[in-house]
Structure 1
Amino acid sequence: MEDIIQPLYGNGMVLIMWAAIVLQLVVPIPRQSHPMALWRRFALLLSDKVNSTNPRQASLAGWLSVALMLLPAIVILLALQPLVWQNELYQLALLLLALDWRNTDALVRHLSAAMAHENKQQARELLKPWVNRETETLSLLGLGKAGAETYLLAMGRGVIGVLFWYCLFGGIGAFVYRLTFELARVWSPTRQTFASFGRAATRLTALLDFLPLRLFSLMILVGHRTQQSFLLLKQQHKSWPLPGPSWLLITSAAKYELSLGGPAIYDTRKTLRAKIGGRIAPAAIHLSQLRQLMFSRLTVWILGTSLLLAIFHQGL
């Protein structure tokens, strides 16, 4: 037993990860006062200055803006690393800021409760800060779909992806990944203003999402309705524009035959999206089921990540 415990105890990376997860769950940082709120605000100010109505100029400006936002941040993070008093605390702080588990979990719990009481107005207000689509006209069916999609993608990026990049590149990798997908959300091409400008951030995020979200989706496939979920994934994954999120949404929805996707309104314009998953409209109970599904798979994901970190860094 000591041979198993000692590598975990003596490996700072594993302890930092567990400490960040526990602290983030016990003492969450409110979404409105999180440093990422300042990052999103600065991204909007930059886009106001450089975005263009010309599609080609807007696309070029988008790539330059991504570089302008991320490259200085990476340089500063790397420069600070040898200057900090305790590197472990530095890595812990970065991972703690990158993770977004507690706020996402609170969203799905409160949204599920509001939908269970058919309080559409409360559900719309809960969902509004998390999505770019318009929520004022969403029915209970629309709220169920939007809530399920938002929860799955928020967990996929705010926890799964963050831990994956932490495993590879430590706290800096996790934090830079969080900065990147926040840019993709702020400059989402689903909004007409960023139709060309936001493609750069979206494509970079899609590249970073590809491996972690697909690996996690394979974990979701295991268990209940494995064969049916795999067939549905094989049929539908190309219909969704982003490869990583498509796998996560389809495999999760297939477990309970939930219907996701379909039309959505962005900036008063109706956008046609592919319908994915099954035929059952998501209700409050299904949001709770998705929460249980994610928790069970995340437990395995975290334990597996801990083991890989212990083995890899022990080898070093």
Structure 2
Amino acid sequence: MFDSIITDNTFYEQLLRSDGNLLKSCLVLFMALLISRVAPLSRHLHPIVWFHQFALLLSKKVNHPQRSAQQQLIAGIMATTLLVIPIWFIIYFILSLAAYPWFFDFLVLYFCISDAGFKPVAKDVISALEHGQKGLAKTYLSPWLMQNTASLSEMGICKATIERLLISPSYGTVATILFYALGGTPLVLLLHLFKQLEHCWPNYVPQYRYFGAAVYWINRIAFAVPQWLWNLTLVLQGGLSNLGAMFKKSKNIQGVYGASSLYLGAKILQIELGGPQKMTIGNAEYRVSITKINPSRVPTIADVRNAISLTTWAVTFWLSFTIAIPILWTALRWVQSM
């Protein structure tokens, strides 16, 4: 028995020496994912909201839709560089010099998993609608959406809530896991900043079509794999009969990030999504035409609940995946040492 204890101690010492950094990174990632869901940061206190405000203020100054497409594109690239590079460099510098880099890794990852805080909001929206408080439901939704929520009907509120539930985990949870594995916290932060700029300058809005084109194409390439993986997870949760919907290209929502997730979610939930949106840009209000996805039955409060259930189980799969990797790795090392 004493020999067994010595052997175990030797194994764990060797494991920590050879794979300590890997196991620590997995633990930091898992804790960030877990705590972001157990204790999500209020939207009003989230640093991303401040970043959004800076991006919108800068775009008001330098985005001039009446100018040529090339001038708008150049202005957008310069604005993107001005917003992203200084923030990324400062945080990268802090991470490089920090005495406890794992703590700052955790903080950055926690802030980057920005989709985690929306599930409680979706539940609050359901509660408000059930009590006939449509205005309160719009207030809950407003900080999370670029579109103007003031004129949304109950059906519009349900659509907007479901769409956010279906799209955000692909660039929040899934992308964070994948990019952290590929390039660590600096890569997660860099691409998350690009993603947030797309929220501020949506490509499907005419005023940002050229100004935000560079950001849109960077995100389209960078987030292609996370989005595909998220769609696969939705299929696993929603039924393999929907597998064919993953490979059908939606022609109706050009420029909208997560179009394939919306199409897949609409098929799984058997509801209609998409449709025109109203945006307030500067002091003017614009109506943006977006064709309806899977025109059929309009969503109800029950469908919002189904969307919460679908996406919760899908996210749980990725949480389980992050903790399963170090466990399986440790088991393999144990077998190898025998």
Shorter chain as denominator, the TM-score bin is 0.7 to 0.9
One-letter code aligned to 2:47? P
Contact 2:237/2:310 (8 A) holds in 1: no
One-letter code aligned to 1:219? T
Measured at CA, do residues 244 and 28 of structure 1 come closer, stay the same or move farther in structure 2, by a change above 3 Å?
Answer: closer
Measured at CA, do residues 178 and 224 of structure 1 come closer, stay the same or move farther in structure 2, by a change above 3 Å?
Answer: closer
Counterpart of 1:157? 171
- How far has the Cα of 1:305 moved from its partner? 3.7
Q: Per-residue displacement from partner, 1:259-288 (whole Å, max 9, x unpaired)?
A: 111222224333221222362211111111
CA–CA distance in 1 between the matches of 2:147 and 2:52?
17
One-letter code aligned to 2:157? L
What SS does the aligned partner of 2:250 have?
Answer: helix
What SS does the aligned partner of 2:117 have?
Answer: helix
Counterpart of 1:93? 107
CA–CA distance in 1 between the matches of 2:52 and 2:306?
31
Contact 1:51/1:62 (8 A) holds in 2: yes
Determine if the alignment matches structure 1 residue 30 to structure 2 residue 42.
yes
Counterpart of 2:148? 134
- How far has the Cα of 1:209 moved from its partner? 1.9
Which residue, 125, 145, 158 being the options, matches 1:144?
158
- How far has the Cα of 1:93 moved from its partner? 1.4
What SS does the aligned partner of 1:280 have?
Answer: coil
Measured at CA, do residues 26 and 215 of structure 1 come closer, stay the same or move farther in structure 2, by a change above 3 Å?
Answer: closer
- How far has the Cα of 1:92 moved from its partner? 0.9
Counterpart of 1:48? 60
CA–CA distance in 2 between the matches of 1:130 and 1:107?
9
Determine if the alignment matches structure 1 residue 240 to structure 2 residue 257.
no
Counterpart of 2:193? 179
CA–CA distance in 1 between the matches of 2:154 and 2:170?
24
CA–CA distance in 2 between the matches of 1:84 and 1:247?
40
Contact 1:115/1:283 (8 A) holds in 2: no
- How far has the Cα of 1:308 moved from its partner? 4.8
Counterpart of 2:23? 11
Contact 2:238/2:268 (8 A) holds in 1: yes
CA–CA distance in 2 between the matches of 1:294 and 1:37?
24
What SS does the aligned partner of 2:96 have?
Answer: helix
Determine if the alignment matches structure 1 residue 214 to structure 2 residue 231.
no
CA–CA distance in 2 between the matches of 1:243 and 1:188?
7
Counterpart of 1:266? 279
- How far has the Cα of 1:79 moved from its partner? 2.6
CA–CA distance in 2 between the matches of 1:223 and 1:152?
13
Q: Per-residue displacement from partner, 1:206-262 (whole Å, max 9, x unpaired)?
A: 2222110111101211254432x2344444534332586122112222112011112
The TM-score with structure 1 as length reference comes to: 0.87
User: How much is the aligned-residue C-alpha RMSD, in angstroms?
Assistant: 2.9
Q: Per-residue displacement from partner, 1:37-72 (whole Å, max 9, x unpaired)?
A: 222222223223322231321111101221222223
One-letter code aligned to 1:157? Y
Determine if the alignment matches structure 1 residue 277 to structure 2 residue 294.
yes
Identity of aligned residues (%): 21
Counterpart of 2:319? 302
What SS does the aligned partner of 1:269 have?
Answer: strand
What SS does the aligned partner of 1:281 have?
Answer: coil
Between stretches 7-16 and 47-56, larger displacement belongs to: 7-16
Unaligned stretches of 5+ in structure 2? 1-7, 334-338
Measured at CA, do residues 249 and 274 of structure 1 come closer, stay the same or move farther in structure 2, by a change above 3 Å?
Answer: same
CA–CA distance in 1 between the matches of 2:94 and 2:204?
36
Q: Per-residue displacement from partner, 1:14-45 (whole Å, max 9, x unpaired)?
A: 11012212332333322112222222222223
- How far has the Cα of 1:298 moved from its partner? 1.3
Contact 2:105/2:185 (8 A) holds in 1: yes
Unaligned stretches of 5+ in structure 1? none
Number of residue equivalences: 312
CA–CA distance in 2 between the matches of 1:73 and 1:310?
35
CA–CA distance in 2 between the matches of 1:164 and 1:310?
18
